[in-house]
Structure 1
Amino acid sequence: MSRTPSAKDEARRLAEYRWLSFDVVGTLIDFERGILDCLQEIARTEGVALSDEHALARFAAAEDEQQRLTPELPFTQMLVPIYQRLAGEVGLPATEEYAAALRDSIRRWPAFPDAPAALARLGQHYRLVALTNADNWALAQLAVTLGDPFDDTVTAEDVGVNKPDPQVFTYCADRQRVQGYGRQDWLHVAQSQYHDLTTASWLGVATCWIERRAGQDGFGATPAPQQVVTPDHRFTSLAELADAVEQV
């Protein structure tokens, strides 16, 4: 009969890794809050009543479509056509000015409250690598928001394609290997089943699901995955992961 792993068991498993890669937008940065703050500001300017859940659902659908059309574009650069696609569906003007405002708002997107401190704690145990669909400009803004925790960074701009494309993970693995960090030492930490966990699991990379929307319906501003994979580790916050690591 199987048993639920104890905190000590979990900590021992986590101690086997030497480096962690992180999805940034959605796992460390509260992009839903950032998107809504921008869209609601536009809605107030235009005198439009905007439902948060409807706006997030239409954003997810627009991103899903844009991913298929331009998989080579970093997420940051997709924000302009994403806005133009969703605007009419939520009653906002599809102007270039407002589309640019959504893209530029990324510098104000907040970190999840637990993320900066948890990253600092995890950095005492592991090499930390950002693995993001953002471009280099956006990641520079977001890293400052998070307290500049990363030992290395890999962006969609570096790779030339977005997650969930496997090339992103392969590029990251190759880059870390030259620094002496192998695939067997790797844990990928992410919120998005669509962008991250499905591909990482398919490639045989150990995964940790930070389930930021635990207890909420749907996938919010993230496109729905074709399937929900079972991760190797699962927590509802990054602080819980840091707590588990420190149980050794």
Structure 2
Amino acid sequence: MVESGVARVRWVTFDCYGTLVDWRHGIMISAELVAPGHGERLLGAYERHEPRVQEEAPGMRYRRVLAEAFGRACREVGVDVIPDDLSVPAATLPYWRVYPEVTGELGALREAGWNLALLTNCDRDLVAETLRRLAVPFDMVVTAEDSGAYKPAPAHFERFRAAHRPEAGHWVHVAQSYYHDMLPAARLGIPRIWINRRDERPDDPSVVPEIAPDLAGLAARVAKVAQAAQGPAW
């Protein structure tokens, strides 16, 4: 890991699930294992419940968040489950598929001289299994377990900034979630790229000045955003 405070080290931070890993597919497949034929409905319900659980219990481990939100989704949809069924999302998470362009684009960033970090709403043990599938080394990982909170709370970003104190134009954040990542990054003045995989419309276009449908060509986009951010330190 790179020592904190080293001058002129350049960083790209990423959200993991949704940005690098197909989170929605993972939840839906987990749901299909428990309740065949109900995967899409359970996914929709789960997406509503997870942020509520995280807001209610910011110190809860993500493994338990998955189980609690999945249980609430099952109740909403009217699917009967046994307690063991609620552990399925966490059990399958290490096998969730990585988006096809991710490994090559992460490698291109490293070749261009960027350090890589994850700022993830996950537990250390779970994300460690995913890191093996990404196949490109990361220099730092900040989890919800580390920060004691879930994004969109700013704790992940603040912890990373305190550790490395990046100069202006030497930190770009890349993520799929407008709610969890783009909004807090904008509030904190962090240069950012929205990976808009779902073709969503932002409530405020100024929050997402740089938008891409996936990670293809990411190194060039990062260089562009970093250059635009050169100026007085934050």
Same fold flag (TM > 0.5): yes
CA gap of 1:60–1:152, structure 2 versus 1, over 3 A, is same
Q: Which has the higher contact order (CA 8 A, sep 6+)?
A: 1
The question of whether the paired residues in 1 share the 8 Å contact of 2:29 and 2:39 is answered with: no
Shift of 1:185: 1.4
Equivalent residue number for residue 167 of structure 1? 155
Letter in 1 for 2:32: Q
Gaps of 5+ in 1: 1-15, 219-224
Gaps of 5+ in 2: 1-7, 225-234
Q: Distance in 2 between matches of 1:17 and 1:213?
A: 32
Say whether the 8 Å CA contact 1:73–1:162 is kept in structure 2.
no
Contact kept in structure 2, 1:107 and 1:142, CA below 8 Å = yes
Q: Within 2, Cα distance between the matches of 1:144 and 1:98?
A: 26
The 8 Å contact of residues 31 and 39 in structure 2, kept in 1 or not, is answered as: no
Letter in 2 for 1:19: W
Q: Distance in 2 between matches of 1:77 and 1:184?
A: 37
Whether 1:123 and 2:110 are equivalent positions in the alignment is yes
Name the CA distance, whole Å, in 2 between partners of 1:82 and 1:127: 34
Corresponding letter in the other structure for 1:63 = E
Query: Could you report, residue by residue, the CA deviation over 1:19-46 in whole angstroms, capped at 9, with x for unpaired residues?
Result: 10000011000011111111112123xx
Q: Could you tell me which residue of structure 2 aligns to residue 202 of structure 1?
A: 187
5 Å matches for 1:149-168? 149-168=137-156
Equivalent residue in structure 2 for 1:232, among 206, 209, 216: 209
> What is the letter of the counterpart of residue 175 of structure 2?
A
Aligned ranges 1:61-140 → 2 under 5 Å: 61-125=48-112, 126-140=114-128
SS of 1:213's equivalent?
Answer: coil
Conserved 8 A contact 2:172-2:222 = no
What TM-score do the two structures reach when normalised by structure 2? 0.84
Equivalent residue number for residue 32 of structure 2? 40
- Partners of 1:198 and 1:228 within 8 A in 2: no
TM-score (norm 1): 0.79
- 3-state SS in 2 of match to 1:208: strand
SS of residue paired to 1:88: helix
Query: How far 1:51 sits from its partner (Å)?
Result: 5.3
Alignment correspondent of 1:18:
10
Q: SS at the partner of 1:113?
A: coil
CA contact (8 A) 2:102 2:134 kept: yes
Identity %: 31
The alignment partner of 1:239 has SS state of coil
Q: What is the root-mean-square deviation of aligned Cα atoms in Å?
A: 2.5
Match of 1:185 among 170, 188, 197: 170
Alignment coverage as a number of residue pairs: 217
- Structure 1 residue ranges (4+ consecutive) displaced by more than 6 angstroms after TM superposition: none
What is the match of residue 146 of structure 1? 134
Q: Which amino acid aligns with 1:205?
A: I
Structure 1 residue 77 displacement after superposition: 3.0
CA distance in 2, matches of 1:78, 1:229: 31
